[in-house]
């Protein structure tokens, strides 16, 4: 490495950090991400204010990096900092349509119980290519604390807070406390990840359970004990039931086994055999119970989603240079180089994930997120080539400060302007009305192949009113248009019976119209039922970026 003094290192890092943002801004046309692309998020916001905030943040990081206090209490500090980092996003709207699936699945459990949910999974409960663990958790939360977005957001915040902690514990087990702490901090250096933390999706849970299974497996095979072996097996099952993408990723456990065989091979093999037997037995029971559903989903993944990945790509450039700080990839390269020089076998962990991303062509950010902790671990290992602890901390703190500035001052206001936010505001408005129920009608989307009715469950998440929708969800024509697109699932959702309760068929209720453009008058098909209805609420926020638009108009029932 360069033989620089500590002061020279700090000045170099300060200069590079302040240089990175202007380069990213100038090259923002290269960001092909489909949600928070820099081509869009800076549409109405210039770089000057952001650069000023970033300059103050990295200067603040300088004295903070001089203290080793955070490394004395790493787990507690990482949990608190990660929670504070995502708190600004607790009130963010649900801006991905996948939320509709998880809400419908969770609401089914709330209404019919865990037994009914598990029995009907893959039948009356439309499962698409989802696995049941996370919707089950959401449903239990709904049943215990009420069907509100706040419950989901708060739970996700707590779970997200544990991800840097488990990353730290894994790094400590693989190398040492200092490496683990830096890896945990680097989990906050992805502004895209911070925006996902409070959403009613499965990505945060997938990251957590995959990482937890790796840490507990390492712990189990090194220390032994039936309790540890059982805990590792249960964690692996949780990861397997979170998302299908974790299945090939869990091949990392085989890599870990091979790495650890150098010491006490027979002991390691016996412990691995116990974990494998326990995991295999539990998965066997699951396959016996729902094997037909799982095989149908695997077939769909193979025939539809795997081929679709080649079309629904965002590129590695977006993930490496815009949606996470470039320091991470630079430190990963440094970590690989250091591992080769030192013949460090743990580097095969990152090689496994890098190989998966390359050979499976995983170029969508949401599919790459579960790999982020392992890239962070490798990056933290690479930073250890720098002799000065303050410099190592300063590099990581600068990356985190950049992430916080970009996510809170750029991404958050952009996401708040998306048309999906209209569902949130409309739901809050409906809660102020006297009626117990509302009638909903969705006008077709002119620019999107998605089913407009997919917005209804998301509206339901934000309102305590009963929703009545006589309009059918499925359409042969709509399905044919969307069959080869990522929006296909919106035409395969089953309309729940509770949205078609005939007790409201002839009732005059507040009428909610969801459309792709502002609506000022009642649609012709409702004039007979609501001849004197008048507009009492209209929600027409839009960024004009995405094809799927959700404008909401509310009419009274006079």
Q: What is the pLDDT, as a whole number, of residue 43?
A: 78
Q: What is the pLDDT, as a whole number, of residue 343?
A: 87
What is the bridge-based pairing of β-strands 466-468 and 535-539?
unpaired
Q: What is the pLDDT, as a whole number, of residue 348?
A: 83
Nearest 5°: CA angle at 329, between 326 and 331? 105
**Residue 49 CB neighbour total at 10 angstroms:** 12
CB 206 within 8 A of CB 238: no
What is the bridge-based pairing of β-strands 535-539 and 511-515?
unpaired
H-helix or E-strand spanning residue 75: helix 74-86
Q: What is the pLDDT, as a whole number, of residue 545?
A: 87
CB 378 within 8 A of CB 390: no
CB 142 within 8 A of CB 108: no
Q: What is the pLDDT, as a whole number, of residue 416?
A: 92
Structure tokens at 441: 């009608």
Q: Crossing angle of helices 74-86/177-186, nearest 10°?
A: 0
Sequence ranges of the domains in the chain: 80-95+148-387, 421-555
Q: What is the pLDDT, as a whole number, of residue 163?
A: 97
**Residue 440 CB neighbour total at 10 angstroms:** 25
Q: What is the pLDDT, as a whole number, of residue 557?
A: 80
Q: What is the pLDDT, as a whole number, of residue 312?
A: 64
Q: What is the pLDDT, as a whole number, of residue 307?
A: 67
Nearest 5°: CA angle at 550, between 548 and 553? 155
Residues 6+ apart with CB under 8 A from 539: 422, 425, 426, 429, 551, 552, 553
pLDDT under 70: residue ranges of the chain: 1-2, 305-312, 361, 558
Question: What confidence tens digit (pLDDT) does each residue in 170-181 have?
Answer: 999 999 999 999
Nearest 5°: CA angle at 367, between 303 and 231? 105
Q: What is the pLDDT, as a whole number, of residue 309?
A: 59
Phi, psi angle pair for 456, to nearest 5°? -65, -50
Q: What is the pLDDT, as a whole number, of residue 330?
A: 95
Is the torsion defined by CA of 337, 338, 341, 342 positive or negative? negative
- Give the whole-angstrom CA distance, residue 511 versus residue 509: 6
Q: What is the pLDDT, as a whole number, of residue 278?
A: 95
């Amino acid at each position: 490495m360069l033989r620089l003094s500590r002061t020279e290192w700090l000045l170099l890092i300060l200069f590079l950090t302040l240089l990175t943002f202007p380069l990213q801004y100038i090259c923002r046309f290269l960001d092909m991400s489909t949600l928070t692309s820099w081509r869009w998020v800076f549409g109405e916001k210039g770089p000057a204010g952001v650069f000023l905030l970033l300059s103050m943040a990295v200067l603040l990081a300088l004295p903070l990096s001089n203290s080793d206090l955070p490394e004395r209490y790493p787990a507690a500090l990482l949990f608190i900092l990660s929670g504070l980092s995502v708190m600004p996003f607790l009130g963010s709207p649900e801006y991905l349509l996948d939320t509709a699936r998880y809400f419908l699945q969770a609401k089914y459990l709330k209404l019919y119980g865990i037994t009914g949910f598990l029995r009907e999974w893959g039948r009356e409960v439309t499962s698409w290519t989802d696995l049941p663990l996370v919707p089950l958790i959401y449903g239990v939360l709904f049943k215990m604390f009420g069907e509100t977005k706040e419950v989901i957001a708060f739970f996700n915040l707590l779970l997200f807070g544990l991800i840097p902690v488990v990353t730290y514990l894994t790094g400590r087990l693989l190398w040492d406390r200092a490496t683990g702490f830096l890896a945990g901090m680097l989990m906050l250096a992805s502004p895209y990840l911070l925006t996902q933390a409070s959403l009613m999706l499965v990505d945060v849970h997938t990251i957590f359970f995959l990482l937890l299974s790796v840490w507990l497996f390492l712990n189990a095979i090194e220390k032994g004990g039936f309790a540890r072996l059982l805990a590792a097996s249960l964690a692996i099952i949780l990861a397997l039931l979170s998302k299908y993408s974790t299945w090939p990723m869990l091949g990392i456990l085989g890599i870990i086994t091979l790495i650890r065989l150098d010491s006490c091979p027979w002991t390691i093999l016996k412990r691995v055999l116990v974990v494998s037997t326990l995991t295999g037995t539990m998965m066997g029971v699951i396959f016996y119970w729902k094997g037909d559903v799982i095989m149908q989903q695997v077939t769909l993944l193979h025939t539809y989603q795997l081929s679709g990945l080649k079309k629904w790509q965002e590129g590695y450039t977006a993930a490496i240079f815009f949606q996470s700080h470039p320091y991470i990839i630079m430190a990963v390269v440094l970590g690989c180089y250091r591992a080769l020089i030192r013949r460090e076998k743990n580097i095969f962990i990152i090689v496994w994930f890098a190989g998966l991303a390359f050979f499976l062509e995983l170029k969508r950010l949401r599919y790459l997120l579960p790999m982020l902790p392992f890239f962070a671990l490798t990056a933290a290992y690479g930073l250890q080539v720098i002799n000065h602890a303050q410099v190592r901390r300063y590099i990581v703190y600068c990356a985190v400060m950049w992430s916080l500035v970009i996510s809170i001052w750029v991404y958050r206001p952009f996401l708040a302007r998306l048309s999906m936010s209209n569902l949130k505001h409309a739901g809050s408005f409906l809660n102020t009305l006297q009626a117990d129920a509302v009638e909903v009608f969705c006008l077709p989307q002119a620019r999107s192949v998605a089913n407009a009715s997919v917005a209804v469950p998301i509206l339901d998440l934000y309102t305590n009113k009963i929703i009545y929708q006589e309009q059918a969800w499925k359409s042969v024509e709509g399905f044919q248009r969307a069959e080869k697109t990522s929006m296909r699932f919106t035409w395969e959702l089953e309309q729940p019976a509770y949205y078609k309760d005939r007790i409201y068929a002839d009732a005059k209720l507040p009428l909610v119209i969801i459309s792709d453009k502002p609506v000022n008058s009642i649609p012709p098909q409702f004039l007979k039922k609501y001849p004197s209805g008048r507009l009492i609420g209209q929600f027409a926020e839009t960024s004009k970026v995405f094809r799927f638009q959700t404008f909401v108009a509310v009419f009274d029932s006079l």
